[in-house]
Structure 1
Amino acid sequence: MPTTPVPDRPHRLLLPAALATAVALTGCGAPAQTATGSGPPAEGYPVTIGNCGSETRVDAPPERVVTLNQHVTEVMLALGLEDRMVGTAYLDDEVPPEYADAYASVPVLADAYPSFEVLLEAEPDFVYGGFTSAFDDTEGRGRPALADAGIATYLNIEQCADEVTTETVETELRNVARIFGVEERAEELIEEMNADLAEVGARLEGVEPVDVLVVDSIDTTVFTSGGSGIGSDLIERAGGRNVFGDVDDTFADVSIEQAAARSPEVILFYDYGATSVEEKRRAVLADPVLAGAPAVEEERFAVLPLTSALVGVRTGDAVTDIAEQLHPDAF
């Protein structure tokens, strides 16, 4: 977990979008977010990728990259691209040990999002954002403003895909790898992920799914995982059913009464930021409305780091982690 408090995450601001994302070497649509050099395009370039209602075009592999949000930072590190990174921001939880040294080599520009001025001081030629709030027009970091400064941008496609599954992860990795010319590394990561998914699937064959309520945070309402993000697919592959999988949002606020009425058998806490899982657990156990839910009566709880519940490089590990907690006898 971060050593400094992280402000309220931007996820509450970035709920639905329904724009398809496709990869192409040429494209049309909204104005392109282009990184261009002084010379002719590099071999195999330019690359143009349709991205969440815009286009990302690069004439060569970007060399000065800033990542905004942890899950996209980890994509860069997993692709072996830390030497291209001149800044990162917005850590939600601990960086996995296999990426810790690489992460330590990258300057941290801000605990949350950097200002436009701080971002420009890093002199990036490319900004990779994890959530739509990374490119907040009202804070000066909008994609058009960055394009005007000669900076290409790319947004994680979980924010705009109609349906988000593990196939979305494959597309995301291939998109980013194509931009940087490291396609082989992306295929290695995809092969590793699919091997993990296949192993879990084999172990859970014939296992009865359990109903799962995600608790990202809880106060007067429950901030939970809806059906539009990858969370539902992770839970399903791990032998569960997201009780709010019918909600057409990545994340959604639901009432305590609604949460209790879905009779969850397991509560899955997302772990991040300044509020610990133990604090969330105590809040759930103290709530009289939730008291009758099977998960609360049996104190059947599971935990997942927030970054593992997003489109990134933790998908195989996330499914394994959830499955081991939902169905320990299968492992």
Structure 2
Amino acid sequence: MKTIPIRWGVAVAVLTLVTACGSGTATTNASAPRGTRVTSCGVTLEIPAPPRRAVAMEQNAAEIMLTMGLADRMAGTAYQTDPVPPELEEAYARVPVLAQQYPGREALLAKKPDFVYSMRASAFAPEAAGSRQDLAKLGVPAYLSSNDCEDRALIPATAEFEAIFGEIDDIATVFGVRERGQAVVADLRRRLEEAKRTAPQNRHTTLMWYYSGTKTPAIAGDTGLPGTITRLLGAQNAFADVKQQWPEGNWEEIAARDPDVIVLADLTRGGDGDSAEAKKRFLREDPVASKLTAVKNDRFIVVPGSSMDPSVRSVTAVEQVGQGLARLYG
């Protein structure tokens, strides 16, 4: 039996035993050489063969699969929040879009999926696909990112890039394309190290990551990916003391902290304050927000909203924020 344990840590390959950073444990069975068993957020998934009709429940999951050339293995995708990167546009266009947001259980099962993948637990809510346990009873294994486990106690204390790399390895293992996954991770590691090396170290610069909403803005606390990126770039998160990924903020508290720079998520889904331009308009017109130092000095950095959550785009966020800080502070 060839065993591929997946755990948090640094990837090391030793003959047939391979340890990689990730959210679960993938085991390849010798009697069914292409089957795997993966533990994802405490749920063991039995995958008898590489999936042929997978469904990605939101854009980040879809882009991880498409980056590994798996468009021909996908029966559907959903919940697009940003324009697809140019290099993935052609592949994305070949995958049926099942819903503007999450497809319901009936719409999902109508595609006869043999694997479901999401980076958000909300995809498996009763009004969406339903629980992963219920899908398993129907013979449909469903993988969930460790960044948003249903059981919040299973979510790591911080969102680290090693977890993203491990998740890519998990998915590559499930689909029998592990070498592709390793190549993707190697490139992301190279870019991440370069972004860290070239970023200006602004130890006293405070960033506020602003995701969505206007009356009650969703901002980044310390435990999500923005907190990790801020530390990697040598800056400070204005809400580093908040031990949540995306707490609801209020403008009086934000004004009291008065961040030096605001990192804006650019979302295309059309909600209140979703696009970067809508955020800028609000910030400049609101009687409280307009007095912020970052607003008065036009210190904004814009990144795609999907790159603020762990995904194949997350290294791009490090690059963009690092370049933005260099532009603002030279």
Provide the secondary structure at the position in 1 that maps to 2:187: helix
Question: CA 1:119–1:24 in 2, change beyond 3 Å: closer, same or farther?
Answer: closer
Contact residue 41 and residue 60 of structure 1 kept, 8 A = no
The answer to whether the 8 Å contact 1:137/1:143 transfers is no
- The superposition leaves residues 200-229 of structure 1 with CA deviations (integer Å, 9 ceiling, x where unpaired) of 222136544521111112322221122222
| Alpha-carbon distance, 1:256 to partner | 1.1
In the alignment, does 2:90 pair up with 1:101? yes
- 2:33 aligned to which of 35, 43, 48: 43
How far 1:276 moved relative to its partner? 2.5
Mark the CA change 1:187 to 1:330 in structure 2 (over 3 Å): closer, same or farther: farther
State the partner residue of 1:219: 214
Count residues in correspondence. Answer: 298
Q: Structure 1 residues 196, 315: closer, same or farther in 2, change over 3 A?
A: same
Q: What's 1:172 paired with?
A: 167
Conserved 8 A contact 2:122-2:128: no
**Unmatched tracts of structure 1, length 5 or more:** 1-19, 27-39
The equivalent position to 1:66 in structure 2, one of 51, 55, 68, is: 55
The residue aligned with 1:284 is 283
Question: Of 18, 24, 27, which residue of structure 2 is paired with 1:25?
Answer: 27
Higher relative contact order (CA 8 A, sep 6+): 1
After the TM superposition, list the runs of 4 or more consecutive aligned residues in structure 1 that deviate by more than 3 angstroms.
205-209
* 1:325 matches 2:315: no
Q: How does 1:1-331 map to 2 (within 5 A)?
A: 21-25=23-27, 42-45=32-35, 47-139=36-128, 141-160=130-149, 161-162=155-156, 163-204=158-199, 206-208=201-203, 210-272=205-267, 273-274=269-270, 275-328=274-327
Check the 8 A contact 1:221/1:255 in 2, yes or no. yes
Q: Which consecutive unaligned segments of at least 5 residues does structure 2 have?
A: 1-21, 150-154
- Does the aligned pair in 1 maintain the 2:102–2:129 contact within 8 Å? no
The CA deviation at 1:326 is 1.5
Letter paired with 1:159 = D
Where 2:249 maps in the other structure, the secondary structure is strand
**How far off its partner does 1:287 sit?**
2.2
What is the CA–CA distance in structure 2 between the aligned matches of 1:138 and 1:218, rounded to whole Å? 23
1:12-54: CA deviation from partner (whole Å, max 9, x where unpaired):
xxxxxxxx9332429xxxxxxxxxxxxx963153x22221121
How far apart are the structure 1 equivalents of 2:296 and 2:199? 25
Measured in 1, the distance between the counterparts of 2:116 and 2:201 equals 44
Q: Secondary structure at the match of 2:207?
A: strand
Q: What SS does structure 1 have at the residue aligned with 2:217?
A: strand
Residues 200 and 112 of structure 1, relative CA distance in 2, 3 Å threshold: same
Return closer, same or farther for 1:142/1:170 CA change in 2, 3 Å cut-off. Answer: same
8 Å contact 2:202–2:235 — kept in the other structure? no
CA distance in 1 between partners of 2:245 and 2:202 (Å): 27
Q: What is the CA distance between 1:120 and its match in structure 2?
A: 0.8
Percent identical among aligned pairs is 34
TM-score by length of 1: 0.84
SS in 1 for 2:65: helix
RMSD of the TM alignment (CA)? 2.1
d(CA) in 2 for partners of 1:289, 1:305: 25
In 2, the alpha carbon distance for the partners of 1:41 and 1:127 equals: 24
